[in-house]
Amino acid sequence: MPLRPATSFFLPAFIFSTLLATNAATAAPVAATVENGTTPTACAEEDNVSMVLRGDGIRRMRIEALQPDYLDKIGNDVTAPDFSGCNFDGGAHPTDPAHHFKKRTVVLLDNAEWRIVGMTLPTFWRPQRVPVQVGARSDRGFHLLQVFKKENGKALEVIVLYPSDGYWRLKPLPDARFGDGAYGSSFLLGPVEQAGRPVVDIASIRVVPKPLAIHLRFTHGGSAVARVDEISRTRTALDVSLSTPTASTQPFAVLRSMYVAADNADMSEVRWQESQDAASQASPLPEVKSLKATQVRFGRSLPSKHNTSAPDIEFSGFDNEAGPRH
């Protein structure tokens, strides 16, 4: 077929403006639906909070652990467990299965910037033994992957991933007054399913040390990359990209936490924006049913007597474009 001769022309102004508006609309943030699946509990050691995130066509997002707004106002960080309202005393939850393993701890990476440790517990509630590769080193069967950031030669834990059920925990570098700081809420990332509780089935994990990124391949298809964008005393931030656009029928993330009362909770309120230009809104957790958000923060404005310094967790930057952020 003969080549079409080259031509040059100028677009009429109204067409050019329409194209710009279309591109801007395409690049606009995507809203996620957040549904509150919280159930009542008197036990401060039980995850009764489930904030379920769904959306259609989402390919990227940002997940951050942020210091609570009240951090500078507290003098005492309460981190001791509280089993006073529970029907178990610190052992396995009575409804959990107990699969047995050989206990071990393996240092998978230790350099000037990072220390990554794999831990296998004597018992765990799921039998999965997920393959893990850190740099050139391969292993499997860990129940925790711990990521420590080196600061002045000291290793400070900032990320934990549970390969067997897909749970994550993040925290910023701790306030100097409070030792290592405390974790609070956890979250799931990927195709969430129910298996006694919400889980994400991970087929394999690969950690690229520089720049640090955690690659997940899911058992039922698809993958995700969580790139560590920032670790500071303000936040720990992950930029996440998904290989497959999300579908509104299946959650792509779930925030899991504990709420007994406003002053005894790992998260007690929700703050969100319905669109990039909308005003920020806030509601106590019990008043939230369902909402749409381009940015949503699960946290506390009232100091809690449980895990007082634990961070808020924020989801933002929902985007329908593939590829990493720059």
DSSP track, 46-96: S--EEEEEE-SS--EEEEEEE--TTGGG-S----S---TT-SSSSSS-TTS
Q: Is residue 58 part of a domain?
A: yes
Do residues 298 and 313 lie in contact, with contact meaning Cβ atoms separated by under 8 Å? Answer: yes
In a domain, 6, yes or no: no
Does residue 190 fall inside a structural domain?
yes
- Characterize the bridge pairing of strands 264-265 and 123-124: unpaired
Whole-number Å distance between alpha carbons of 162 and 158: 14
In a domain, 324, yes or no: no
Ramachandran bin of 305, using left for φ above 0, alpha for ψ from -120 to 50, beta for the remaining angles: alpha
Residue 24 lies in a domain: no
Torsion of CA 238, 296, 37, 84, to 10 degrees: 80
pLDDT for the residue 90: 67
Q: How many domains does the chain have?
A: 1
Residue type present at position 92:
A
Residue 11 lies in a domain: no
Query: Is residue 10 predicted with pLDDT exceeding 70?
Result: no
Question: pLDDT (tens digit, 9 = 90+) per residue, 38-70?
Answer: 999 999 999 999 999 999 999 999 999 999 999
**CA distances (Å), origin 309, targets 82, 270, 323:** 16, 17, 34
Q: Helices (DSSP H) in the chain: which residue ranges?
A: 13-27
For the chain, counts of helices (H) and of strands (E): 1, 27
What is the pLDDT at residue 29? Answer: 77
Q: Is residue 212 part of a domain?
A: yes
Query: What is the reported pLDDT for 20?
Result: 45
Question: Does residue 8 belong to any structural domain of this protein?
Answer: no
pTM over 0.95: no
Residue 108, pLDDT > 90, answer yes
235: containing domain: 30-74+82-87+96-319
Other Cβ atoms closer than 10 A to 78: 14
The reported pLDDT for the residue numbered 11 is 44
pLDDT score recorded for residue 1: 39
